Amino acid sequence: MTEIVPVILSGGSGTRLWPMSRPEKPKQMLALTASDTMLQLTAARAHGDAFAAPIVVANAAHADAVEEQLGAIGAQPSALILEPAGRNTAPAIALAALSAGADQAMLVMPSDHVIADRDAFHAAIHAALPLVEQGWLITFGITPDAPETGYGYIKVGDELAPGIHRVARFVEKPKRDVAEAMIASGDHAWNGGIFLFRADAYLGALERFAPAILAAARSACAGARREGVRVYPDAAAFAASPSDSIDYAVMEKADRVAVVPVTMGWSDVGSWDALHAISDRDDRDNVVSGDVVMLDSRNCLVRSDGARVAMVGVEDLIVVASGNDILILPRGRSQDVKLLLDAMKN
Amino acid sequence: MTEIVPVILSGGSGTRLWPMSRPEKPKQMLALTASDTMLQLTAARAHGDAFAAPIVVANAAHADAVEEQLGAIGAQPSALILEPAGRNTAPAIALAALSAGADQAMLVMPSDHVIADRDAFHAAIHAALPLVEQGWLITFGITPDAPETGYGYIKVGDELAPGIHRVARFVEKPKRDVAEAMIASGDHAWNGGIFLFRADAYLGALERFAPAILAAARSACAGARREGVRVYPDAAAFAASPSDSIDYAVMEKADRVAVVPVTMGWSDVGSWDALHAISDRDDRDNVVSGDVVMLDSRNCLVRSDGARVAMVGVEDLIVVASGNDILILPRGRSQDVKLLLDAMKN
């Protein structure tokens, strides 16, 4: 068995953590939960004897930042594949699979998630390896702790091996009552977007279920320009790929798809509220970072990357100062960042 | 009767409106209640046929800003007296009185108050002029609307002329219950720090009750350097003056002291809460100034002189972004700016 190749997907440019997260410095480039960035934490999570150097798929605009951040922790990628345009995860992973050896196991990870319990993660990975060798596509099922409507769910089916189950069904972002029923059932997990499979297994599934994606990826790789570890796929060829997620394009259609349910302190840090929830808090439940002077305040998340924030007598407030922007909203309302961004566009 | 000489005291460098108000740009230099600054509004309030050009007493550090702001509204001072150091109001007014004609009526005004009803103010001034001519020292008594403990009070005594009363007593910043009793009595007014008297009447009172202040002011004026309208009193001579307020040094001691009670929409804009209270509010009771994007928020005061503030779902909050500082506190807590400044010093 060769080493597992971590495949780190760094293409995102989410806005839910605005104003810290911006197109030029998206969430994965930020140090939100620790002194290391989310990208660095992701790379460090799949580092060591069992792992080869990572393949990173990123937006070309972030090439320097990715190399700098990974270099700083001694996790230089074997290939840094720079997407000329975003085509969602299925094509991005196809580029990585074509760069890996056909028989290599690929551990596909978003670059902007937190996993607090690395040992549990590694145990789940190793439990899955025998099925991976048999060509199964593995997804990791996050033990859910709330009826979230923003996640995909996996119905956990029959056990295939200790701790590994056939996927009975994928359920995309459910309505609230459906989510509550799935939580109550006890046999559903969140789809955390972390996958493990051999490169040839993924490419084979693509060939069967999404041949246009595979063809575009092959063509983009064939025409790629290389500079050291950097790979610039052919832009026109890649642009011809359908844009689709690995879930829709492959996982929901393929036959031999398994899930490893795992409780590992996972969070996608999908909002400022989520960051407050997973962060270490002081004795007044505040989470503070940057130049902040705070008196008689409770249950706040306050972050500044420049300006000095002085607060007194405030409760349950989220304050984020970044660059020329200051975001202020009550705890529980951080999904409304989107409303503010819409309002600012108009 | 000669024209009244407005004497504008611009020596303050208060911190209650931090972070907008700073030593280098104190409250009177700010446009808080209108597009004009407090200093400009003060000068405009005593402008017209009845008034001569103002005498301004200011901190030397603010000379350019004072000239620029007054020039912009066509209210250049006849003298800009630049204090080498702050010695409180009695010496500052002494410098102005020595610059005015002995028989001129001086209308002494802080530069950082709001008076919404200028007609009422002018009517009070004109009602007082006959007594001024007889050598009385006049103060204006603000009709109180709350038992404030931060103001001085005046007990209104016998009527001397229509609308003008002898001052029965000055009461310095009272305790809460005393303030409440004074409000309930109906015969007390706030001491707004606005005075009207002939220069010779003030200098005569100083000679009797505060001769060291008068001597220091005379000596500072005798040794003054002049550049156009700018007057630089002799620093060593002025430094020798006792530091005292006109209230303590003169008004509370002199005999012929009268008060004109007046309801004129006065505010000293002594806090961010006060500014919210006196400002025009939108239909959700917000007072907003600067680059602010606000959704679903009520009863807030938000000011920014640079950064963009984006808020959603917030109520009863004061947010002030100025330079590199961001102040956040609930409405009703703006006196706690002082606690924050203390904390930041340490």
Q: What is the pLDDT averaged over residues A130-158?
A: 95
Above pLDDT 70, what percent of chain A?
A: 99
| Min Cα separation B84/chain A (Å) | 32
> Rounded distance, CA B224 to CA B279, Å?
41
Q: What is the pLDDT of residues A78-124, one digit of tens each?
A: 999 999 999 999 999 999 999 999 999 999 999 999 999 999 999 99
Q: Which of A310, A311, A333 sits opposite B313 (nearest CB)?
A: A333
| Min Cα separation A245/chain B (Å) | 32
Q: Which of A321, A326, A339 sits opposite B312 (nearest CB)?
A: A339
- ipTM rounded to 2 decimals: 0.90
Please report the pLDDT score of residue A205 as a whole number.
98
Please report the pLDDT score of residue A215 as a whole number.
98
Output the CA torsion sign for A191, A196, A199, A202.
Answer: negative
Note whether B301 contacts A: Cβ–Cβ < 8 A. no
Q: Do B312 and A293 touch (CB under 8 A)?
A: no
> Rounded distance, CA B295 to CA A285, Å?
26
> Rounded distance, CA A138 to CA A17, Å?
29
Q: Which of B307, B319, B329 sits opposite A313 (nearest CB)?
A: B329
Residues in chain A with CB shorter than 8 Å from the CB of B321 are 307, 326
DSSP-derived pairing of the beta strands A164-171 and A153-161: antiparallel
Residues in chain B with CB shorter than 8 Å from the CB of A308 are 324-326, 344
pLDDT classification of B11: cutoffs 50, 70, 90: confident
Mean pLDDT of chain B: 96
Q: What is the pLDDT averaged over residues A144-170?
A: 95
Structure tokens at A139: 């997804």
Note whether B273 contacts A: Cβ–Cβ < 8 A. no
CB atoms closer than 10 angstroms to residue B145: 10
**In this predicted model, which residue has the larger pLDDT, B299 or B49?**
B299
For A341, name the nearest residue in chain B, comparing CA atoms only. Answer: B310
Note whether B312 contacts A: Cβ–Cβ < 8 A. yes
Residue A177: which residues within 8 A CB-CB, separation 6 or more?
none
Q: Where are the beta strands (DSSP E) in B131-187?
A: 137-142, 153-161, 164-171
Residues in chain A with CB shorter than 8 Å from the CB of B343 are 293, 295
Note whether A301 contacts B: Cβ–Cβ < 8 A. no
pLDDT classification of B16: cutoffs 50, 70, 90: very high
Residues in chain A with CB shorter than 8 Å from the CB of B293 are 340, 343-344
Residue B260: which residues within 8 A CB-CB, separation 6 or more?
B124, B127, B128, B138, B139, B140, B141, B163, B164, B165
Please report the pLDDT score of residue B15 as a whole number.
87
pLDDT at B338 over 70: yes
Q: Which of A317, A321, A343 sits opposite B295 (nearest CB)?
A: A343
Q: What is the pLDDT averaged over residues B109-124?
A: 97
Among the listed residues B40, B247, B256, the one whose alpha carbon sits nearest the alpha carbon of residue B128: B256
Strands of A325-330's sheet, edge to edge? Answer: A287-289, A301-304, A317-322, A325-330, B308-312, B292-295
Q: Which of A304, A309, A344 sits opposite B310 (nearest CB)?
A: A344
Please report the pLDDT score of residue B14 as a whole number.
76
Residues in chain B with CB shorter than 8 Å from the CB of A322 are none
Q: What is the pLDDT of residues A28-48, one digit of tens each?
A: 999 999 999 999 999 999 999
Number of CB pairs, chain A paired with chain B, less than 8 A apart: 103
> Rounded distance, CA A32 to CA A16, Å?
13
Please report the pLDDT score of residue A11 as a whole number.
86
Residues in chain B with CB shorter than 8 Å from the CB of A337 are 312
pLDDT classification of A14: cutoffs 50, 70, 90: confident
pLDDT at B279 over 80: yes
Among the listed residues A92, A325, A305, the one whose alpha carbon sits nearest the alpha carbon of residue B304: A325
Above pLDDT 90, what percent of chain B?
A: 96
Residues in chain A with CB shorter than 8 Å from the CB of B334 are none
Note whether A300 contacts B: Cβ–Cβ < 8 A. no
pLDDT at A202 over 90: yes
- Cα atoms found within 13 Å of the Cα of residue B78, Cβ hemisphere only: 15
Residue count of chain B = 346
Interface test with B, best of A326, A334, A346 (most B CBs within 10 A): A326
Residue B218: which residues within 8 A CB-CB, separation 6 or more?
B98
Residues in a beta bridge with A82: A58
Please report the pLDDT score of residue A346 as a whole number.
80
Q: What is the pLDDT averaged over residues B124-135?
A: 96
CB atoms closer than 10 angstroms to residue B283: 6
Residues in chain B with CB shorter than 8 Å from the CB of A304 are 326
Mean pLDDT of chain A: 96
Which DSSP letter does residue A112 get?
A: S
Note whether B338 contacts A: Cβ–Cβ < 8 A. no
Q: What is the pLDDT of residues A257-278, one digit of tens each?
A: 999 999 999 999 999 999 999 9
Structure tokens at B71: 């020039």
Note whether B158 contacts A: Cβ–Cβ < 8 A. no
Q: What is the pLDDT averaged over residues B26-37?
A: 95
Please report the pLDDT score of residue A1 as a whole number.
53
pLDDT classification of A76: cutoffs 50, 70, 90: very high
Residues in a beta bridge with B8: B56, B109
Please report the pLDDT score of residue B1 as a whole number.
53
> Rounded distance, CA B259 to CA B141, Å?
6
> Rounded distance, CA B134 to CA B163, Å?
16
Please report the pLDDT score of residue B40 as a whole number.
98
Q: Give the per-residue SS3 of B191-236.
A: EEEEEEEEHHHHHHHHHHHCHHHHHHHHHHHHCCEEECCEEECCHH
Interface test with A, best of B291, B297, B326, B338 (most A CBs within 10 A): B326
Q: The pTM is what? A: 0.91
Q: What is the pLDDT of residues B193-204, one digit of tens each?
A: 999 999 999 999
Please report the pLDDT score of residue B122 as a whole number.
97
Q: Do B328 and A317 touch (CB under 8 A)?
A: yes
| Torsion angle, alpha carbons of A131, A133, A135, A137, to 10 | 50
Residues in chain A with CB shorter than 8 Å from the CB of B337 are 312
